[in-house]
Amino acid sequence: MRHLNSVNKLNKTASHRKAMLSNLSMSILDKEHVITTLAKAKVVRGVVERLITHAKKGGVHSMRIAGKTVRDKTILKKLFSDIAPSFKDREGGYTRILKLGERPGDNAMQCIIELTGRNSYELAQARKKKNRVAATPDALAKAPAVVDAKFEEIPKSDEGKEVAEVKKAKAPKVPKVPKAPKPSKTTDSAEKPAKEPAAAKETKKKQS
């Protein structure tokens, strides 16, 4: 029996599930058009619609409640100043889900979740077209060339001067500290008298 099992855990821990839904809801509010799996879209739809309802109410309390999920300040500002006023005359149903078919590999059902009545698909296509145009060679050629001051070419006439200045600017060498002299070892020859040769010993014996 599946009594009281209305929450889809999405096979994740509580903290992972909460972070994922927060990130996904911020992406929906920012891009207004997100491709994800059907299971995730059905769960995040409730989160996004509650956020829009709080934004329609307005006030500091509603902003703080929405700020628990929407961590980005720019997206939070867009939610209260742009998205919420556009749904002023709509009572619920702020998002819609469009199925795309099964994903190759794991056969997970994919879908698009977007905000209704905001031309989300058209905005996404225009954004892609803008990125494609910005990446063309013509657009890159028109872009102003940014030259780093560190890598600017030095004229040949000034090369010698630059090298001389760099040599002068080098830090002075630190003189080496002389090592302490090693303690002299006392040799046995200094303490003990030298041995007499054998010939001298023999002459002493004869004399005695």
Q: 14-116: what fold? A: 50s Ribosomal Protein L17; Chain: A, (3.90.1030)
**In 14-103, where does DSSP find H-type helix?**
14-31, 38-57, 60-69, 73-78, 84-86
What pLDDT sits at residue 144?
56
Q: Do residues 48 and 29 make contact, with C-beta atoms less than 8 angstroms apart?
A: yes
How far out from the chain centre does Cα 14 lie?
24
- The rounded percent of the chain whose pLDDT value lies above 90 is 52
- Looking at per-residue pLDDT, the higher value among 2 and 91 belongs to 91
Determine what percent of the chain falls in helix, strand and coil, rounding each to the nearest 5. Answer: 55, 10, 35
Is residue 126 very low, low, confident or very high in pLDDT (cuts 50, 70, 90)?
confident
Dihedral of CA atoms 17, 22, 23, 27 in degrees, nearest 10, equals 130
What pLDDT sits at residue 197?
65
Q: Over 90: is that where the pLDDT of 178 sits?
A: no
Across the range 130-142, mean pLDDT stands at 71
Digit-coded pLDDT (tens) for 3-31: 988 899 999 999 999 999 999 999 999 99
Buried b (16+ CB within 10 A) or exposed e, 109-129: eebbbbbeebebeeebeeeee
| Most trustworthy range by pLDDT among 112-126, 161-175, 182-196 | 112-126
Domain coordinates of the chain in residue numbers?
Answer: 14-116
Among 43, 21, 38, 42, smallest CA distance to 106 is for: 38
pTM of this structure: 0.58
Q: Over 70: is that where the pLDDT of 193 sits?
A: no
